Amino acid sequence: MKYIDIENTDKSVADLVQELEDHNKRIDQAVIYMLTGLICSKILSEQEYKVFIERVLSKSKFDRIAMELSLSQSSVKTYYSRALKKLNKIAIETECKFNRKK
């Protein structure tokens, strides 16, 4: 983990603020990845999960995922589409529950 050197007098306050913002963005992205993985592992089938993780987190193309998982490209696209639909449904349900609690 990279620590921010607050004792470095060569940096301006703006540079330190920018460094903190960049660091927080990396932390936020790591949390999003972790939560995505947890949610996906609970609601997606094994194939949907593998395809979704490869596509979204690893940013792999459909043809590469198909080759790695020994599936046809159309099957990979179908699994990905199903995963997106399930996750979208969960997102809408979660948003509705959150808004009702306000």
Instruction: Reply yes or no on whether the pLDDT at 55 is more than 70.
Output: yes
CA 75 – CA 47 distance, rounded (Å)? 10
CA 65 – CA 76 distance, rounded (Å)? 7
CA 8 – CA 1 distance, rounded (Å)? 18
The domain segmentation of the chain, as residue ranges, is: 13-101
Quote the longest CA-to-CA distance of the chain. 57
Question: Higher-confidence residue: 31 or 84?
Answer: 84
Mean pLDDT of 2-29: 76
pLDDT above 90 as % of the chain = 36
> Average pLDDT, whole number, for the chain?
82
CA 55 – CA 101 distance, rounded (Å)? 34
When computed from its CA atoms, the radius of gyration of the chain, rounded to whole angstroms, is 19
Instruction: Reply yes or no on whether the pLDDT at 19 is more than 70.
Output: yes
Question: Domain 13-101's class?
Answer: mainly alpha
Tell me the whole-structure pTM to 2 decimals.
0.61
Helix (H, G, I), strand (E, B) or coil at 82: helix
